[in-house]
Structure 1
Amino acid sequence: MSTTPPRPRAGRTPNRPALRRSAAARAAGNPEARQRTRPFLRRSEERFRQLAENIGAVFWLTDLRDGRVVYLSPAYERLWGLDRQALLADYRAWADVVHPEDRARVAAAFQRDAQAGRFDEEYRIVTPTGAVHWLRDRGFPTLVGAGPAHRIAGIAEDITDRRRREERIAGLQALTAALAGAVTAEQVGAVIVERGGALLGAEIAVLARLSGDGREFVTLRMTGYPPEVAADLRRIPVARPLVMSEAVRRGEPVFVETGAERAARYPSRATAGAAAAAPLLVDGRLIGALGLGFAGDRTFTDEDRDAARTIAALGAQALERARLYDVAREASAAAEGAEARYRGLFDGAADAILVADGAGRYIDANPAALALLGYPRDALLGRSVADVLVAADGADLVVDPPTLDGPAGEAAAESPAARAGVQVVRRGDGSLVEVEARAAVLDAPGGTVHWTALRDVAERRQTEDALRRQAVLLDHAGDAIFAWDWDGTVTFWNQGAETLYGFPREAAVGRLSHDLLQTRHPDGRERFLATLARDGTWEGELEQVRRDGTPIVVETRHVLVREGDRAYVIEANRDVTARRALAQLQEDFLASASHDLRNPLGVIKTQAQLLRRRLRGGGPVDPARFAEGVGRVETQADKIAELIDELVDVARLRAGQPVDIEREPFDLVALTRQVVDEYRRTSTRHPIRIEAPVAALIGVWDRRRMDRVLANLLTNAIKYSPDGGEIDVRITVDDGPNGGWANLAVQDHGVGIPAADLPHVFERFRRGANVGGISGAGIGLAGARRIVEQQGGTITVESTERHGSTFTVRLPRDLDLA
């Protein structure tokens, strides 16, 4: 009997599973056929076992008739953590490992779906170690012949990572949605700590923002600490050794996976397990940190690290939104307060003030205006400007009513400078009064408004007469002396004021002094006026601006003079700009010098104490270690000597005297490599490269001072590249007499120098306007230039702000002096 299956007819595709079942059925009833198929079956079974036993998933085979597991691949022991022989002996052991919350569902699904020929479920198992894994378990019927299936072949895959990713994504989406409703910093802290900490499985979570000076963390929310510990963590110094502090200093997340490593890195904290922290950054600006603590050790996966960064970024953005919300709320409150203050000042002003709209009709007037014009408020508001203002004999109107909305009004709106002059006003009873008027056209939210202030001329002329009698004496005073009314209008301006500020008398009188000079008071103008009104005098320093835009500092004395109902102020000022700037620069220089001297002195003191203890110990003295300690003292003493020499040079430069140049032949390339090697040890974030086309470059220069010049250039390159970056040092030589010229260039990629500061960068005590937050005395480059120039060389700089600087020293080799 042939076991060869019949050929399919042309044009039809054979049903291969049916053919295999047919062949198997015939072989089952034919011993000869069985004999022939055994090798094939053995090879097939061998290939199946090789496949099943080498894949990561678990392959299983169950007999539906009695529930036995007839085959189980070795991956079961790795994934389940159990001996597969136990399951082969008792199939019921499979259900014991299924998570209790999933056990009933999975058992029912297997009973239901297996009979239907398909099984596909996702569930959890709990291994003997307590680890929880998610599985996708699929089963398919195996058919032999044409009868019903009595076995199910299945494959179980570990989908834990996928489910965790899905859960984490869902958690991040929920956290984002919760942050959308958080409008205060405290609400943001609650969402990040409670939801974000749980998302990463942390037992401890802290969200803190930096204080205004950046020295402390101000905790917004924390969880996981007992109350007595939490109370101590409301404000945390950034200098304290914590994982959050390190994240802030580095500007990037920090992950510590073991308690031992955590204890070693942060010894001030009693720690038990892993920790992580991420900085809170908004447009590159550091505003705080997120800290996480774990009960035990933990390996942080890439997904864990990305999630921590994402949660920190979401927290930073939410805190920034909360800050902007607070700013908007404060701005609204400030606007309401400003309106109240405006009404108080407007209604309380001694001068008559009128406000008209673009159509030339009055919309507001203060009590002084109603009294001067003799109108009730309701009768004046809505009245035309032309009904009130009348030109004086032969004079133009200060405010021309017919042209308020025409070209004159438009031109005035473009420049809100006040116009002043003598004006005649018509009172409500028809009488005319001569007044001094000041007017301006201003842009307001509701449109253009026209502001006019009126003052009785008779009172002003009395004041002018009184001041004029004193003018001759005051004009001869060396200080700037001027007078202004309580509202700030200048009424007197002496020659000293003209000299100091650059404004002639006619340009100053009638202007508001604080606007003219852009005066900045230490505690604000309102507090200054309150103090002056209370005490009658005020002395101190003010910041003002000359006519050419130069800012100055003046030493001032204000005296309040009261004459009846009128009050005015006499202000006497002396320019102390240079004196104050010199004092500040000298203070900065002394602070920097004392700091530089203190470091080596501290090392010398430490070494001396160490050597003394060794000598007092009474035991044998190790000559090598003793010599090493003495050598360190000598090294630090040399550094002090170099600093003192540098201070002596600075003193000579300040006195306009040259420094003593001590020339000797030496190799500039070797010196450069030596100095660069020293600086490479000071910063890991600033790789320093040397480009030198020649192995040696001999010249006759002052070796010690060239060492100082190069050290100053490298110090500046590192200091003014706060974000790190490469520093390039290039040495080249130009041909010429006596060996030609040596060129030494130092290039960084740091903050650069503003264009306005480039011409002054080599001047004493001058620094770039963009480096106020970086310490320095402003003397290093000035000293470097004098040292280079005294050796016949030049030092130049090329720089673009925010793109770095290149300083180039060019020296004649002067080999004939060797």
Structure 2
Amino acid sequence: MEGNRGSRLLPATERIAALSRVSAALMDELNEERLLHLIAETACELTGAMFAAFTLRPMSGEGQPLVPSEGHLFYLAAVVGATPKQEALFRQMPLGGEGLLAPIFRHGVSVLVSDALAFLHKPDSSQNTTSTAARTAARQAAFAYVNGRLPKEDLRSMGIPRGHPVVRSFLGAPLLDHSRQVRGGLLLGHTEPDQFTQEDEVVLVGLATQAAIALENAHLYRAAQMRAQEVDRIFESIVDGVTLIDDFGNILRENSTARLLREVLTESPGGERAIEELLFAPAQRTLNDEAVQDITVIINVDENETREYLVNASPLRLPPALSGPLVDTEDPPGNVSQAGSRAVVVWHDITEARRLLNERREHAETEARRALLQLILDELPTSVYLVRGHDARLVLANRAATRMWGAVWQIGQPMHEFLTENGLRVFGANGRPLVTEQLATRLVVQDDMLVTIRQHQETIRHPDGTTLPLLVNAVKLTIPNLDRLSAQTATQQRAKWEPVAVVVHQDVTALKEAEQLKDEFLSVAAHELRNPLLVLKGYAQMLLLQSARGKGSALAEWQAEALREIDLATQRLDELTEDLFDVTRLQAGQLVLHDEPTDLVALTRRVVKRQQMTTDRHEISLSTILSHIVLSLDAGRMEQVLSNLIGNAIKYSPRGGPINVSIHKEDDPEIAVLSIRDHGIGIPEDQQARIFSRFARADNALASGVGGTGLGLYLSRELVERHGGHLWFGSTEGQGSTFFIMLPVGGEYASYGNDAPSSL
């Protein structure tokens, strides 16, 4: 074979050097493309090939084939001896087990062909070389050749693609992995025939084997690197702290969680002791074969923070490296030298988990207490509910409250929203509708100074028109842990303090009915008493008048005194019956006011003068800077109010003393304010809430022997409120009382003027 320019022409030293380069590359080169290119160049150098190509089968990251060996699924990985243009063309060509490549790619057998042109399929007149029949014949020939049933000369070539260099001599070897799967092929070509020998085939098979091993190792290396990166990422992403410590107490490795805590503890007071308890002590214990499992360690991170950790540690025994001769040791069988000991310490921060567990336990306990409280409240016949915040949001309520409202008040719902949503309206004792802000429930949580509201009269009107009269008692509470009652966790608690109040409603329907009967009785009694009193009073006054004029028989002194007492008694009874008539008129809505322009200053001055004439132990003064202030009033009724209030100041100051009456005007809003202050016995605090009720009298007044019916203040407040005003008071038992009247200034006849301060 004169034309052979194969490996036999290469000196042995160069062959050895070339193989050494490949061996070194197999040891050091991790870049797959450079390694394959080097092997291809070496194959050309050893065999004299003009062309060399590496084809590979697509593999997964773990080195497993992604496609079968059949079909055009191989790709060009490296090429030698081709121009850049040819290489670009080759990389676009599909490669597979067809023709002379079939034994290599499909069956993993090397192929040596002296002249590829001689193996071309001979087409007949009806078929071309790329027909299905040609491919089938080539595939069958390859199978028969691999199984020894066909000589090499009967193999069939499918030709070469357009643009591919002419190949006469062909030599190809498969790349087989450890499981004998085809990973690819190393293909050599020459433009002249008879250029490759069987010795070249042996060399190529060896190079292909080395290349297959190198590729498999590269895949294994990449897979190992990938797994190492995954382990690193997992290690760093673990929320628990993980630390590897050797038996000398050196930290070999730690994840970011452990590192961060260690750095924080290092900077904190007592940090070294904390690190010892958390890391080194558990590591030493586990290296001494002590069990370290779920050990609780509590660490004070700083003055305001305490953290709790659950620590586990386990030994990691590494066998000693075989770096020297094997010698006898005294270690018993199965014991590993302590020089290779490591401890893995894992700690889990259970602070939040413990807090949540405690919260759940507290929540369960709170729920039990709340259920018990709800059970108790539900058995009460009166309505009881708890509200919080200035908008009176419901915290809890009993069943009686639901029956009272005739609707379900949702937990957390503001009172105004609840009333509006259910069409409920509330009226005051005077029958006028109340806005939400005037309800006892809202008043006690809106006013920071107001602590208790007692015996507040309200009437609920339901959407169907039915009414329910009530007495409302509201008490502001101090409950630091209210959220426990409302079954909220600590994370739901409000940082801002909010007022809390318990509200009790008492159904007074029966009392109202009894009161109505009483009013009817009073009306009848007043009417029946009026005529006899008028007759009695008339006769007494007539006898006194006739005696004074000298008509009729002269009266003895005792007789005249008796008639005068009868006259005074009938006068008091007449005033009482008038009060009773006023009460019945008010209850029946028949009291009519006759408003007219009235100078409040002049009216007050007249009442003060008249009341001063009734007492020598009191000094009644009027102070104001107003020369006059004209309001639209029923002068008679307002005089009745002033006479009653100043008269009370005289009655309830039995020791005498000053009584101060003052009048002033305020601009925003425009109102006139009149006050009457005494220094008498005052009103006990626990009885102030009911002092405006009918027939209500304070205990200290009864004890002091001060007479009265208990109707005066009731009538006074009703009359003031029917003038669009307001009557209230402030009192301290033993120090006296001050009553205030507020009246609106606006109106058709309103006017006022200022003078120098005056007093009476």
TM class by smaller structure: under 0.3
Identify the structure with bigger relative contact order (alpha carbons < 8 Å, sequence gap 6+): 2
Output the TM-score relative to the length of structure 2: 0.26
Output the TM-score relative to the length of structure 1: 0.24
Larger Rg: 2
